Amino acid sequence: KGCHTEINTQDKKGIGPTQPKLFTVKRDCGKRGEGNECISANAKYCGQCIQAGAKCGWCTDPDFLKQGETVSTRCDELQSLKSRGCKDEMIANPRGEQKILKNKMVTNRRKGTDKLRPEDITQIQPQKISLNLRSGEPQSFTLKFKRAEDYPIDLYYLMDLSYSMKDDLENVKNLGTSLMLEMSKITSDFRIGFGSFVEKTVMPYISTTPAKLLNPCTGDQNCTSPFSYKNVLKLTSDGKKFNTLVGQQHISGNLDSPEGGFDAIMQVAVCGEQIGWRNVTRLLVFSTDAGFHFAGDGKLGGIVLPNDGKCHLENNVYTMSHYYDYPSIAHLVQKLSDNNIQTIFAVTEEFQPVYQELKNLIPKSAVGTLSANSSNVINLIIDAYNSLSSEVILENSKLPEGVSIIYTSRCKNGIISEGENGRKCSNISIGDEVTFNISVTSKGCPKQGKPETIKIKPLGFTEEVEITLNFICECECHKDGIENSDLCHFGNGTYECGACKCNDGRVGRFCECSSHEVATEDMDRTCRKDNGTDICSNNGECVCGTCECKKRENPEERYSGQYCQCDNFNCDRSGNKLCGGHGRCECRVCICDYPWTGSACDCSLDNSTCMASNKQICNGRGTCECGTCKCTDPKFQGPTCETCPTCPGVCTEHKECVQCRAFGTGEKKDTCERDCSYFNLIKVKDRNKLPQPNDASYPVMHCKERDANDCWFYYTYAVNNNTEKEVHVVDTLDCPAGPDIIPIVAGVVAGIVLIGLALLLIWKLLMIIHDRREFAKFEKEKMNAKWDTGENPIYKSAVTTVVNPKYEGK
């Protein structure tokens, strides 16, 4: 429907996967013409104009404005300014640029080579860049990331020491040396630390009776006093020391099932000096067999102050657990991200679903199943590390107002992603190089207009790109502005970029009026045309005795003139287009482009559209008017007067004359010399010798006609470049051959014979059918006979018996 939808994301603390998003959806289904953001901005000076959009320019020509046009009409799209007469060198149109300030190459290093300090290893390039941003104009640069080999690793093991973790503590006691050995296969610079946690030391999380505070376990179990968090071992490369100190730890206990692990994670994240974090890969292994308390749960113990996210370790023990509430998940996410810590949750199978959901909220985190075997714990850590380090996710710090960033990633195997997926690449191996195209765009200028600094970094890595944003808020000609210039009515404004920028309280094109004197009867009189009643033709306002024409809903449409009596949208139209689309409208009159003319610029002076196929204007049968043929011969019509529906065809028209001149036959053979001498006749031997359309530089018509004897003759008709009519004719007729008698007679005889045989066969077939029917009839009557089968009914005896009448039997 022509609508434009714009979605902006802005984060409360910053922008990136670690931050909650705020979405602003803007849907624009504007009216026709509202696409010109330059005019819609109604800019009063050059700085406002260039902030309206990247396509906007400001004409600095002092004589650019026409009568009635406001200062804001100096701001327009570049092409529109040029079409209105502003020269290129008079258009202020500053462009953004970028400059790379630090561009150290990524490190190409193999394991076993000379050892480098962590700060000497580079995995991201460039490191520092400066961008000059023009409103609406994106500035793009490419960020390169390469995962370095043999990169140092710090791993801190944070363990739940509630009573249910007793068996797991035994497995961890020998973890140090084993893990050091396995991690040496990945890096030659590995350090490990250990911390433990239980719960806040207040009711109802633990029992506060004196006996339970000394030993929270039941029965004869010997447990240590409950505590919130202890930093047992600062990060070290001594695996044996890890085993020794962890071996001295004892189980404690609490009352409820969820633990206070979030307090411990917060302190591990923010107490970098006490933990011993370096600017290297930082891993936090969080081991527990229970759930967790989070922000708000502290109210059960009367704790209402939100967690302040600061370090409160004294003698390596968290001392403010009774004072501050548990941190929220979002708070933890922010602190883990700020300190480049990647989290591995080693939990029992029962709580896997809970921590899987937590993993989805914490970028660069992983979940593994905790088992009773120490080797399985090592495999869990190594697998989780490989999974985390194979993915790079970019995030940026909080953006200044009006600034947006678009990421496009080009990952392994040429996979390209955009949007939120453009921030990350997966399945990255050591030595693989991926790139991100980062586009930064500013909309308008910040209120202060001062340079701003933002940072982009891959989650879990300490390296980052520092970007300095310089905003282009003014034009170059602004520097040459003359304050209190005489050109602005005795110094009532600053003359800059070809126009007056009035001081407060002054109005008018040259700041010639006070804002309190704008509307007076004397001033209105000068705004009436011919002493009429309409002020500024009802198309504007009278300001300081001068008409300032009002704006239309469509910013492309303008009023102008001393009395706003002119406009650029009320000219004649052709084809539903203003000035036919071939000119511009000035003061309600079309100014036509060449070669157009007429009141609506709909009459073309170009006669190429009237050229017929024979290279004659209108086929010689009409005149060309406004690029269209007006046929003078009523028989002809069409765009070039070449169509004649009632005319015989060219071939039919010349048939009789060609026949009489070439062969001496036809209806005109007696008047041939008189009627048929208008063309030159050229005879050729066969059809292949006739001129072809592609061979001649003029149109050629091929004809095929038949004479009274049914003989065909072939010829061509053309008008050559000298306007002479030429006819090429094949000098032999193509007559059909006579009939072949023998095949005809043979065919007739064969037909008669075949017909006779067919009749005999039909008669024979009918007789067979008739006999079969008679025999069937006889058989039926025989079956129906009524006589005695013992006596022949037609038999007559040879004996005749005669009785004597006189015989009385005596």
Could you report the per-residue pLDDT of 660-682, keeping only the tens digit for each?
A: 998 888 888 888 988 888 888 99
pLDDT at 463 over 80: yes
Q: pLDDT tens digits, residue range 637-650?
A: 678 887 664 566 77
> What is the identity of the amino acid at 794?
I
pTM value is 0.60
Strands 465-471 and 128-133: parallel
Identify the structural domains of the chain with CATH numbers, from first to last: 37-92 (3.30.1680.10), 97-149+394-472 (2.60.40.1510), 161-390 (3.40.50.410), 503-574 (2.170.300.10), 606-647 (2.10.25.10), 650-730 (4.10.1240.30)
Is pLDDT at 576 greater than 80 in this prediction?
Answer: yes
Torsion of CA 578, 580, 586, 587, to 10 degrees: -60
Q: What percent of the chain has pLDDT over 70?
A: 90
pLDDT score for 792: 65
Over residues 350-362, mean pLDDT: 92
DSSP per-residue string spanning 155-218: EEEEEE-SGGGHHHHHHHTTHHHHHHHHHTTT-S-EEEEEEEE---SSTTTS--SHHHHH--S-
pLDDT of residue 188: 85
380: nearest Cα among 670, 157, 606, 599? 157
Residue in the block written with tokens 């509307």: 519
Q: What is the pLDDT of residues 370-404, one digit of tens each?
A: 776 666 788 888 888 888 888 899 999 999 988 99
490-500: pLDDT as tens digits: 888 899 999 98
Q: Is residue 326 over pLDDT 70?
A: yes
345 band by pLDDT with thresholds 50, 70 and 90: very high
Rounded to an integer, the average pLDDT of 93-100 is 93
Pick the more confident residue, 685 or 449. 685
The torsion angle over the Cα atoms of residues 13, 14, 18 and 19, rounded to 10 degrees, is 50
The residue type of 544 is C
Q: Is residue 809 scored above 70 in pLDDT?
A: no
pLDDT confidence of residue 649: 73
Q: Give residue-wise pLDDT tens across range 137-159.
A: 999 999 999 888 888 899 999 99
pLDDT-wise least confident of 156-170, 183-197, 759-773:
156-170
Q: What percent of the chain has pLDDT over 90?
A: 31
State the average pLDDT over residues 471-487.
90
Question: Which of residues 17 and 558 earns the better pLDDT score?
Answer: 558
Helix boundaries (H) for 231-286: 239-247, 261-270, 272-275
Q: Are 422 and 407 in contact (CB under 8 A)?
A: yes
659 φ/ψ angles, rounded to the nearest 5 degrees: -65, -40
Average pLDDT over the chain, rounded to an integer: 84
Rounded to whole angstroms, what are the CA distances from 774 to 764, 769, 771, 782? 16, 9, 5, 12
pLDDT tens digits, 231-286? 999 999 988 898 889 888 888 888 888 889 999 999 999 999 999 999 889 999 99
pLDDT bucket at 793, cuts 50 / 70 / 90: low
Determine which of 292-301, 462-471, 495-504, 620-629 has the lowest per-residue pLDDT on average.
620-629
- Tell how strand 124-125 and strand 403-410 pair up: unpaired
Of the pLDDT bands very low, low, confident and very high (cuts 50, 70, 90), residue 699 is low
Higher pLDDT, 30 or 51: 51
For range 62-73, the mean pLDDT: 84
The answer to whether 437 and 410 are in contact (CB under 8 A) is yes
